[in-house]
């Protein structure tokens, strides 16, 4: 482990303060969900079908996934600080473009450009790996993302209230202001953590096969992608289920949509508290099992005719709890497979996670129709959670095989 200066708040010559890491990761989550309660109103404002409006989620995740492939090598080449500052600047401009867009086509274009905020999510994790040794990375990621979980917990609630009071544009104004404020904070506090720069982006891209040849890397990536895929499917279907199935208004819907974040905060606390003792592989497995159990119970209640908004959204806290346990530990695992490619691994893993999320969110938008109820969404969440559990078991089996 290379000795590094101790972090000092607002001193650019030292590593960033943990509060800065929480905020730059948190704005990625905020941009994904603050506007969800406004989706029905936005569809009416642009005169389009709700399924087209769903592209604001699925398309955003898809572009985010593509960017993840490039972000890692870029951050390994030119450093963490310039990538994050540049991403925040473009994000603010794209957010203003969303507000001023006169047509749904232009809105979706600027919404896709907003996906550049992916730099904050991917690079912040690589910075943690730069700052601490592998055995501490899962715990620190857990604590950082536990704090970050507050943002998606309150984001939809704030968005719903802003929509009720000022209209759908207010949520995007809030994102623009947040982007400017965090950009100023990063300028003052975000010290560079990358000590050794890579030889070039092309060389980094050519090293992807080194990661992809590792069964453990695949296992960690798929466990994270599939478990979080259940959550992204939820994001794509929750506004429809809340309004069409349970008849919730936008302000009330905002409070219900944030339910998984309660579990996510708890899961990240458990990761920060117990990952070093229990081991990352065991934490990943437990997290996938919890997610699968919560979604299966939700589906069972639907077929039993016992579901309502309280049971449906309440059980989604188990999805958040499982994700809070899986994502920090699986991330630490994938970054430690090839430590010299930490940012590249973070970007590639993030691409798989968000790309899968885009596909599942789009699929949910296609299968949820008037009269379908919540069951199609719940089935997708159950199946992806089971697949995540199988991936976690693959990692454990591989590690046992190596020890023999």
Residues near 56 by Cβ (< 8 Å), separated by ≥ 6? Answer: 35, 39, 42, 107, 108, 111
Q: What pTM, to 2 d.p., does this model score?
A: 0.74
Split at pLDDT 50, 70, 90, the class of 373 is: confident
Asked if residue 187 belongs to a domain, the reply is yes
* CA–CA dist 78, 93 (Å, integer): 23
Q: What integer is the mean pLDDT of 61-78?
A: 79
Q: What integer is the mean pLDDT of 79-85?
A: 86
Q: What pLDDT does 199 receive?
A: 54
Asked if residue 143 belongs to a domain, the reply is yes
Asked if residue 10 belongs to a domain, the reply is no
- Count other Cβ atoms within 10 Å, centred on residue 400: 10
Number of domains in the chain: 1
Give the structural domain span for 333.
Answer: 18-403
pLDDT in tens, 29-41: 788 888 888 888 8
What is the enclosing helix (H) or strand (E) of 270? helix 259-278
For 285-340, the three-class secondary structure string (H helix, E strand, C coil) is: HHHHHHHHHHHHHHHHHHHCCCCCHHHHHHHHHHHHHHHHHHHHHHHHHHHHHCHH
Asked if residue 150 belongs to a domain, the reply is yes
Asked if residue 315 belongs to a domain, the reply is yes
- By the 10 Å C-beta count (0-12 exposed, 13-18 middle, 19+ buried), 375 is classed as middle
Q: Is the pLDDT of residue 25 over 90?
A: no
| Average confidence score pLDDT of the chain | 83
Split at pLDDT 50, 70, 90, the class of 111 is: very high
What's the helix, strand, coil split of the chain in %, to 5? 85, 0, 15
Asked if residue 2 belongs to a domain, the reply is no
Split at pLDDT 50, 70, 90, the class of 342 is: low
pLDDT in tens, 124-181: 777 877 776 655 666 676 666 666 666 766 788 888 889 888 989 999 999 999 999 9
Helix residue ranges, H only, 149-214: 150-166, 169-189, 201-206, 208-212
* CA–CA dist 234, 236 (Å, integer): 5
Q: Which of 17, 68, 163 is nearest to 358 (CA)?
A: 68
Compare 336 and 61 and report the one with higher pLDDT. Answer: 61
* CA–CA dist 263, 153 (Å, integer): 9
pLDDT in tens, 253-298: 888 888 888 888 888 888 878 887 888 888 999 999 999 999 999 9
Q: Which of 14-23, 167-176, 337-346, 384-393 has the lowest mean pLDDT?
A: 337-346
Tokens of residue 166, six digits: 């000022």
Q: What pLDDT does 236 receive?
A: 81
Compare 61 and 166 and report the one with higher pLDDT. Answer: 166
* CA–CA dist 4, 331 (Å, integer): 22
Residues near 70 by Cβ (< 8 Å), separated by ≥ 6? Answer: 201, 347
pLDDT in tens, 202-257: 666 666 777 777 788 888 889 988 998 898 889 888 888 988 889 888 778 888 88
CATH number of 226's domain: 1.20.1250.20
Q: What integer is the mean pLDDT of 19-48?
A: 85
Q: What pLDDT does 79 receive?
A: 80
- Count other Cβ atoms within 10 Å, centred on residue 388: 30
Asked if residue 7 belongs to a domain, the reply is no
CA distances for 344 relative to 71, 84, 349, 359, angstroms: 8, 15, 8, 22
Q: What pLDDT does 216 receive?
A: 82
Asked if residue 280 belongs to a domain, the reply is yes
Listing DSSP states for 350-387 in one string gives: HHHHHHHHHHHHHHHHHH--TT--SHHHHHHHHHHHHH
- By the 10 Å C-beta count (0-12 exposed, 13-18 middle, 19+ buried), 277 is classed as exposed
Tokens of residue 3, six digits: 């000795």
Q: What integer is the mean pLDDT of 96-103?
A: 94
Compare 397 and 77 and report the one with higher pLDDT. Answer: 397
Q: What pLDDT does 1 receive?
A: 41
Share of the chain above pLDDT 90, in %: 27
Among left, alpha and beta (phi > 0; psi -120 to 50; other), residue 47 is left
């Amino acid at each position: 482990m290379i000795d590094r200066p101790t972090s000092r708040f607002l001193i650019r010559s030292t590593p960033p303060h943990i509060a800065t890491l929480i905020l730059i990761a948190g704005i990625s989550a905020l941009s994904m969900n603050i506007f969800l309660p406004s989706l029905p109103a936005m569809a009416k404002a642009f005169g389009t079908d709700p399924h087209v409006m769903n592209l604001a989620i699925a398309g955003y995740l898809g572009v985010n996934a593509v960017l993840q492939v490039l972000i890692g090598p870029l951050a390994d080449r030119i450093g963490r600080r310039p990538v994050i500052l540049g991403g925040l600047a473009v994000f603010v401009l794209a957010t203003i473009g969303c507000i001023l867009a006169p047509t749904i086509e232009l809105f979706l274009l600027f919404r896709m450009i907003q996906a550049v905020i992916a730099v904050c999510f991917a690079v912040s994790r690589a910075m943690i790996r730069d700052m601490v040794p592998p055995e501490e990375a899962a715990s620190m990621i857990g604590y950082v993302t536990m704090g970050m979980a507050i943002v998606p917990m309150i984001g939809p609630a704030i968005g719903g209230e802003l929509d009720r009071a000022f209209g759908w544009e207010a949520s995007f104004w809030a994102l623009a202001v947040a982007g400017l404020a965090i950009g100023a904070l990063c300028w003052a506090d975000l010290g560079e953590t990358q000590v050794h720069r890579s030889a070039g982006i092309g060389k980094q891209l050519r090293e992807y096969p080194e990661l992809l040849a590792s069964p453990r890397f695949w296992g960690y990536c798929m466990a994270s992608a599939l478990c979080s895929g259940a959550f992204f499917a939820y994001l794509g279907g929750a506004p429809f289920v809340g309004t069409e199935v349970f008849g919730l208004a936008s302000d009330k819907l905002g409070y219900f949509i944030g339910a998984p974040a309660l579990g996510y905060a708890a899961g990240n606390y458990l990761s920060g508290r117990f990952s070093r003792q229990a081991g990352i592989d065991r934490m990943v497995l437990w997290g996938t099992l919890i997610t699968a159990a919560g979604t299966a119970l939700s589906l069972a209640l639907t077929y039993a005719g016992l579901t309502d908004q309280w049971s449906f959204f309440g059980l989604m806290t188990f999805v958040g709890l499982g994700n809070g346990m899986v994502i920090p530990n699986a991330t630490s695992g994938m970054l430690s497979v090839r430590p010299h490619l930490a940012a590249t691994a973070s970007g590639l893993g993030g691409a798989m996670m968000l790309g899968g999320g885009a596909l599942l969110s789009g699929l949910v938008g296609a299968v949820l129709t008037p009269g379908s109820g919540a069951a199609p969404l719940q089935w997708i969440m159950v199946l992806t959670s089971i697949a995540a559990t199988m991936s976690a078991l693959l990692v454990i089996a591989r590690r046992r095989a190596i020890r023999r």
